A = this chain, B = another copy of it.
Amino acid sequence: MIFLVLKLNIQITDQISKRTINQFMQQQKNLFAHYKQPSIKEDSYVTGLNLANSMKGRELVPFIPINGRQVNFYYCGPTIYKKFHLGHARTYLGIDIIRRTLRDYFNYDLLSVMNITDIDDKIINGAKLANQDFLEYTKIWEKNFFSAMESLSIELPDVITRCSDYIPEIVTFIEKIISNGYAYNNNGSVYFDIQKYLADGHTYPKMRPEINVDQLQEGERESQVNKQSEKKSLNDFILWKASKPEEPKWHSPWGEGRPGWHIQCSVMASSILGNPIDLHAGGIDLVYPHHDNSQAQAEACFNCDQWINYFIHLGHLNFANRKMSRSLKDFITIDEILKKYTPRQIRLNFAIHKYDTVMDYSEEHFEQAISIDKTYHKFFQNTQIYLRDSQITGPQKWMQNDFQISNLLRNTKQVIHIELLNNFNFPTVIDAIDKLINQVNVQITNKTVRAPLVHSVVEYVKFILGLIGLNYQTQNNNSSDIKLIMTEVCSIRDQVKLATSKGEFEAIQNIVTQKQFQYEKNLSNGIVDCVNQFQQQVLVASQDKNKQLLFQLCDKLRDEQLFDLGIKIEDKQQVSIWKQYDPQELKLEREQQQKLIQQKEQIKKKEEEKKKQEELIQLEKSKIHPKDMFLTQIDKYSEFDENGIPVKDKNGNELSKKQNKVVKELWEIQNKIHNQYLLQLQKQQQ
């Protein structure tokens, strides 16, 4: 039983009252009995992947595509009327990671389609409010969407379908539904006939089967409120909306109007991918009614049993413990978030949570992401240096540590393979990577692991992090040119520091007049300028025999000039090493570090204050003579002995043995404390 409970990954909604697990599971089984799980055929490509399938109540279902390795994948895109925010980021980043994993790890032949909803009530209203032309308005917000996607390095789908391009197809589709008997025209608007659909034995809704038919929402507020008179049944949802004045409109057999929201996905997805479709994804808030309606429409049009085989849903992002949706004022836009965090940190923030779970927005999560990001970045930098400095002609024989790392690498690959199969369980994948990295870091520090093996580990880590869309490559390929000059720069600076510490000013002058650096083809001019200026200033300072200034100049070169170019110098004992970063990232990293330090200092300060206060209280307490300690407690006691120890309670009754014992102990403790205080006083006076 417990095993079964662990396997099922079901979200219990408010509408299901609490029952025993037994009854619940039985009901679950019945509720999703309509789902036809694809079976393994002779040419099936079976990887062992299991997905939390909303078609089966989010149970883990083995993923079997219809046609060999081919996977047809559709996911809901944006309704373009406002800025891209963090909630969107979670959904699209989640899908991005899933796509990469399906394609690059499991080698499926993936064809991905994403729609753009560019005809919608919210867009029309938004354009009116902004006093803009409808088309112009959608163009602006579509551009904003794609810019945001690009800034987060989210891959574009293979196909983009805009609703406004598919009006003819939508009309044809609706006509088919009508002719199949599942929709009707009333007053220029077309509605889906839910009663007829149910009466003919169809299941609806498929993914929220526990919903009471009477409670069925339509999903488009407007129709539900305004057009009840046109509908056969309250729950019928709109497919085609009769035109209203001053609204964009298109021609149809039922008059002028525009598509409803739900119909768009059914039409565009099947236009490209046909029927049935392997995989459909979207945010969890779309499950019902939007996704269920999409399915009903398609199944009503094609007269098929099951339009989508696997439906997966991305979890919500709760912001300040509230659902991240536009109707709330306090949302976070991508522009603002990118001022605080890098795209990589944002990705990691989400990747450390399962894609289909609800998640709270919190600074702590981000800090965890920042920390992991730094770990990875350091790992790649350190291994790069280790490999850069290793000689292939050096010792290569495997020692115990090499076998250890190799075994760990193989174990890690096994664990990660299993966890990726397990509904893309990336949090555990990241844990496994962390363990591997930690071990390798230790071996690298001790120089007890062969470089080719390190290289193999690095390549594997790169590959897995690539599935998350994380890229730690240094952005320049002219690194060989920079390598040469940077080696020289570090050497000069190290020599200056050493000579300065020895007060050898003439030597310094020699060092910095050896070579005037020239611009060379493709060489970083910035570095050239830095080092020439450094040499100049050091020359003067050494002529003035100004040690302090000399050290300051060395620091300035490291912390400001080269830092601004994205070059980080790390002073290691006598020799320094250099690493190259994206200048923007380096700057952001420093800001985040400073912020962290500030926070720590604030916490420390608060604790110190708190401690100080406590000490004061203790001091005051210790000044009290034990014989006075109970005197004020007249609400408890009425009579005291010569030492101030209570003998009678407030009612005049003698204290019990136990009470006596207690007050005597307290008296002793206070006596001790007070004597210590007196001793302290004496010492101070001496």
- A: residues with CB less than 8 A from B are 68-70, 105, 107, 109, 111, 139, 142-143, 146, 156-162, 165-166, 271-272, 392-393, 395-398, 402, 406, 410, 413-414, 417, 450, 452-453, 455-456, 475-478, 519-526, 565
Please indicate the chain B residues that have their CB under 8 angstroms from the CB of A521 in the complex: 524-526, 565
User: Across the interface, do B158 and A272 meet the contact criterion of CB distance under 8 Å?
Assistant: no
Please indicate the chain B residues that have their CB under 8 angstroms from the CB of A166 in the complex: 397
What is the CA–CA distance of A395 and B142 in the complex, to the nearest angstrom? 13
What is the CA–CA distance of A161 and B495 in the complex, to the nearest angstrom? 40
User: Across the interface, do A70 and B410 meet the contact criterion of CB distance under 8 Å?
Assistant: yes
Please indicate the chain B residues that have their CB under 8 angstroms from the CB of A107 in the complex: 105, 107
Chain B: which residue is nearest A457 at the CB level?
B158
Inter-chain pairs besides A165-B397, A521-B524, 4 sampled, C-beta below 8 Å: A159-B452, A165-B396, A272-B398, A520-B525
User: Across the interface, do B410 and A111 meet the contact criterion of CB distance under 8 Å?
Assistant: yes
User: Across the interface, do A162 and B525 meet the contact criterion of CB distance under 8 Å?
Assistant: no
Please indicate the chain B residues that have their CB under 8 angstroms from the CB of A158 in the complex: 406, 452-453, 456
User: Across the interface, do A452 and B522 meet the contact criterion of CB distance under 8 Å?
Assistant: no
Q: How far is the CB of A527 from chain B (nearest CB, A)?
A: 9
Please indicate the chain B residues that have their CB under 8 angstroms from the CB of A271 in the complex: 398
Count the copies: 2
User: Across the interface, do A450 and B69 meet the contact criterion of CB distance under 8 Å?
Assistant: no
Q: How far is the CB of A387 from chain B (nearest CB, A)?
A: 10
Q: List 18 A-B contacts (CB under 8 A).
A: A68-B414, A69-B414, A109-B413, A142-B393, A146-B393, A156-B452, A158-B406, A158-B456, A160-B452, A161-B396, A165-B397, A166-B397, A271-B398, A475-B477, A519-B519, A521-B525, A522-B524, A522-B526
Q: How far is the CB of A73 from chain B (nearest CB, A)?
A: 12
Please indicate the chain B residues that have their CB under 8 angstroms from the CB of A524 in the complex: 521-522
Q: How far is the CB of A448 from chain B (nearest CB, A)?
A: 15
Chain B: which residue is nearest A477 at the CB level?
B475
Please indicate the chain B residues that have their CB under 8 angstroms from the CB of A526 in the complex: 521-522
Could you say which of B68, B146, B161, B393 contacts A392, with CB atoms under 8 Å apart? B146
Could you say which of B111, B396, B476, B520 contacts A162, with CB atoms under 8 Å apart? B396
User: Across the interface, do B69 and A397 meet the contact criterion of CB distance under 8 Å?
Assistant: no
Most chain B CB atoms below 10 A, which of A139, A158, A452: A158
Chain B: which residue is nearest A455 at the CB level?
B156
What is the CA–CA distance of A68 and B48 in the complex, to the nearest angstrom? 13
User: Across the interface, do A392 and B156 meet the contact criterion of CB distance under 8 Å?
Assistant: yes
Please indicate the chain B residues that have their CB under 8 angstroms from the CB of A476 in the complex: 476-478
Q: How far is the CB of A224 from chain B (nearest CB, A)?
A: 32
Could you say which of B159, B393, B452, B478 contacts A139, with CB atoms under 8 Å apart? B393
User: Across the interface, do A109 and B410 meet the contact criterion of CB distance under 8 Å?
Assistant: yes
